[in-house]
A and B are shown apart, each in its own frame.
Chain A
Amino acid sequence: MTASRAPLLLTACSLVISCRGSHERERADFERMRLQQRYTLYAASPSFANGQSMQSPPAGTVSREALATVPIVVTPQLLARGKDRFTIYCAVCHGAGGFGGSLVAENMGQPRPPSLRSQALLTRPVEYIFTVATAGKGRMPAYAPQLTASDRWAVASYVHALQSDTTRSTDDVKDSLMAEQIARIDSAAAAAAARRR
């Protein structure tokens, strides 16, 4: 008799446990968490004319951070930061050594990114590099969204240091060799175009 009751008891127990109380409050709480009354990333918003939930600051806004960093003091830390940012945002086109030998430069067609270590750029002040990084020049876009003002000063300082550096690292040699190769491609193409004409 007791043996036949055991499964019955087990079933009853599991039913009792599963029916303990009502979970209405917990369920409502979970739903409130699951579907929060907030904008998710890049969500559309009916409250703004442009329909975006993320709004840009008014045109011409200067960040407090930008005001606080001028004049800059060139330190090894600043140059290290400059090199780090340069590698991400500048070397893509201008090459790891700044000679203009990069895979992107090879693929993008003319006009190509110039060498940052040319004689013409060597005489430019560090402010010039900062301005170009901020506003862009020719085909180069503005890098103000990607780089904060202090990062742009760091990059400009690093580029300036790079220009005065006459030693050549392995990266520099690779970069300059590739830049020469791209220049050869361009001159060959120009010669071919001249022959056609």
Chain B
Amino acid sequence: MAAIFPPWANVAARASLIAGVCALGGLAVGVMAWARTPNATRRYQPVSQPVPFDHRVHVAGEHIDCRYCHFSVERSSTAGIPPSTTCVPCHSTTWLTSATLAPVVKSVETNTPLRWNRVTALPGFVYFNHAVHVNNGVHCETCHGRVDRMAAVYQAEPLTMNWCVSCHRARAPRLTNCSTCHR
């Protein structure tokens, strides 16, 4: 009776087992590596908005401080989206009748908030506090990048846990336990 398996089948069996284990491990590593790429963290992807608000014009061009519009940043967990009425005083003579500003006008007239699209999103169990960061020397651009150079705002940093923790370890080593951010 002839042998069912030729002699090289032994090598093939071992090789396929090793390859299988490597593939499993590689898949896990691959998924973890992919999760850190800009594609997975939604980094550098400009988000379209109902009104194409250009931070370059207002911040770099007119020297308006971030806190002029995002005024709750120093006393609240959130930086805040300014009420639509914030635009009106200056834009009552400039650009008011343009189609670009039509959603703002409608929002003010009907007293309904504009629905801006979220750029930087964190999971529900991450309790980030803007005030505590801003009041302790972390600048806006540390996490948000140079918004004054963005035509449409995009997420500038990965916002992964490792990214948060790397800064916490270096600058606030007492604030590295889980419940600092997770609840």
- Give me the interface of A with B, judged by CB distance under 8 Å: 4, 7-8, 10-11, 14, 33-36, 38, 40-42, 52, 87-89, 92, 102-104, 107-110, 139-141, 145-146
Q: 12 A-B Cβ contacts within 8 A?
A: A4-B14, A10-B17, A34-B124, A35-B124, A38-B124, A52-B113, A92-B62, A92-B65, A92-B68, A103-B61, A104-B64, A145-B83
Q: Which of A35, A87, A110 contacts B93 (CB 8 A)?
A: A110
Known contacts A34-B124, A38-B124; 10 further A-B pairs (Cβ under 8 A): A8-B17, A14-B24, A34-B125, A36-B124, A42-B113, A88-B67, A89-B67, A102-B63, A107-B62, A141-B85
Which residues of chain B come closer than 8 Å to A10, judged between CB atoms? Answer: 17, 21
Q: Judging by beta carbons under 8 Å apart, are B17 and A7 in contact? A: yes
* B48 adjacent to chain A (CB < 8 Å): no
Q: Nearest chain A CB to B171's CB is how many angstroms away?
A: 23
B97 at the interface (CB under 8 A from A): no
Establish whether residues B68 and A88, one from each chain, have CB atoms under 8 Å apart when the complex forms: yes
User: Which of B61, B88, B94 sits near A141, CB closer than 8 Å?
Assistant: B88
Number of residue pairs across A and B with beta carbons under 8 Å?
Answer: 72
Q: Least Cβ distance of A1 to chain B in Å? A: 11
With the chains together, A99 CA to B63 CA distance in Å? 16
Please, what's the 1-or-0 string for B86-98, where 1 marks a CB less than 8 Å from any CB in chain A?
1011101110000
Contact between chains at B85 and A33 (CB < 8 Å)? no
How long is the Cα–Cα vector from A107 to B182 in the complex, in angstroms?
45
Q: Say yes or no: A92-B64 contact (C-beta < 8 A), given A34-B125, A109-B94.
A: yes
Assembly CA distance A194 to B90 (angstroms): 25
Q: Which residues of A contact B86 (CB under 8 A)?
A: 141
